[in-house]
Amino acid sequence: MLICCDESRKVIYLAPEGDLLAKEAESMHRQVQAYARHEVEALVLDLARVRTIDPFGLHTILLLYNQLCRSRGELIIENASRELKKIFQLLRIDGRLTISQTGWPC
C-alpha cells in the first residue's frame, strides 16, 4: 500500500496496490489511524489498482468516511473503475463520497 501525507494541506493520499480485501483493508485502516493524530481534512483513496472490494473493504471505507465526517473531513475516491462505481451506486453510498479522477500531488 502506498501512502503519502501532505501535512501542509492536511491530506492523506492512500493507494492500495491490489484488490481491497479483508487483509488489505485492515492494513489500510491501521495506516490511516497512524496518521489520525494529525489534523486531517481529507483522505484521498486512489483505487486505480483495485478491481474488487469485498464486504470488509467496503465496511472499512465507510468507517473511514464516518470518522472523517465527525471531524469535518472529506473522503475522496479517485480512479475507481466503472465496476467499483456501480458497487458504490448499488449500495447507495456514492452520494456520500466524493468520486473524482484526479492524480496525486505528491
Going from the C-alpha of 21 to that of each of 13, 56, 101, the distances in angstroms are 19, 7, 22
Residue 34 corresponds to which amino acid? A
From first to last of the 106 residues of the chain, give the pLDDT tens digit: 888 878 787 898 999 999 999 999 998 888 888 776 667 888 899 999 999 999 999 999 988 888 888 888 888 999 999 999 888 888 777 666 677 765 555 5
The reply to whether the predicted model has a pTM over 0.75 is: yes
* Residue 106 included in any domain: no
DSSP at 39: -
CATH code for the domain of 59: 3.30.750.24
Q: Which domain range does residue 42 map to?
A: 2-100
The answer for residues whose C-beta is within 8 angstroms of residue 79's C-beta and 6 or more apart is 46, 47, 48, 101
* Residue 105 included in any domain: no
Phi and psi for 43 in degrees, rounded to 5?
-120, 120
* Residue 75 included in any domain: yes
